[in-house]
Amino acid sequence: MKCSHWIVTASFLALSVTGVVILMAHPRLYWGEVGNDLTPALFELPISRNYHHGGWEQSTPFFQRAGSPVTASRTYDIFNQNGWGRSLHFLAAWFLVGTGLVYLLAGLFSGHFRNHLLPEAREFSRRLFWRDLVNHVRMRIPKAGKGPQYGLLQKCTYLVVIFFLLPLMVLTGMTMSPAITAAYPFLLKMFFGAQSARTIHFFAFVALLLFLLVHVVMVIRSGFKNQMRFMTWGK
């Protein structure tokens, strides 16, 4: 369990860096089946591209009618930093998936999810939830004790990350692979197209990145040395 924590951490950091490199090649997000520089974007991220090209040749419509799709060629080939990013991204993703499955099975069979993450009925109180939220906002984080002691807000957050955000990242990542969707086309229907999956993948990444930042702050506030010792050695 402790080893899986650090492998997942390293994998996520590698995925974050390479994901940004990949995104810089085309920082535009779409909704639907297709999208490129010649089609309207859902929105464009205000980040610098890692390549520049001289524009496009004159576009040519496929059909002689209004609203026909168009095609155009770039004036010269693109040179970008996408190759190593995609390779490392793919490799780190398999480390994350493999380790995540080990963690999931260990958590289920050891009772970790049931004993430490599943909220009890008495915890579902608006007053308790609000008090927990206010304490986190005001950085009133109790010092770490022996073993995991999570509040309602922490339990709900961990459950969302483990059973929703991480599986969503994996499935949308698979949906962007033509080889995988050729074998499992239901993924394209599930996420409304490859470009929609890419957009969902991005927002899931942002949510996980925010979770990581808050998680690190809480580790520091609750006793950095003790928390690192527990996450590394289990004591």
**Looking up tokens 């993450």, which residue turns up?**
117
**Predicted confidence (pLDDT) at residue 4 exceeds the cutoff of 80:** no
Range 2-27+82-233 has CATH code 3.40.50.150? no
Tens-digit pLDDT profile for residues 67-124? 776 665 555 455 556 778 888 898 899 988 888 888 888 888 888 788 778 877 776 7
- Report pLDDT for 233: 63
Position of tokens 């040519």? 60
Residue 169 Cα to chain centre, angstroms: 5
Amino acid at 164: F
pLDDT at residue 198 tops 80 = yes
**Residue 169: pLDDT over 70:** yes
Residues 218/139, Cβ–Cβ less than 8 Å:
no
Query: CA-to-CA distance for 176 and 195, rounded, in angstroms?
Result: 8
Instruction: Dump pLDDT digits (tens) for 8-59.
Output: 888 999 999 899 888 888 888 999 888 887 788 888 888 877 666 555 566 6
- Cα separation of 139 and 217, whole Å? 9
From residue 47, give the alpha-carbon distance in Å to each of 20, 73, 91: 10, 24, 25
The whole-number average pLDDT for the span 205-223 is 84
What is the per-residue burial (b if ≥16 Cβ within 10 Å, else e) of 147-159?
eeeebbbbbbbbe
The whole-number pLDDT of residue 209 equals: 92
Confidence class for position 144, pLDDT limits 50, 70, 90: low
Which helix (H) or strand (E) element contains residue 43? strand 43-44
Q: What is the mean pLDDT of residues 148-156?
A: 76
| Percentage of the chain exceeding pLDDT 70 | 78
Q: What pLDDT does residue 115 have?
A: 79
CA-wise closest residue to 106 among 147, 162, 168: 162
pTM of the model: 0.76
Is 70 in a helix, a strand, or coil?
strand
Buried b / exposed e across 171-187, counting CB within 10 Å, b at 16+?
Answer: bbbbbeeeeebeeeeeb
Q: pLDDT tens for residues 122-135?
A: 767 777 777 777 77
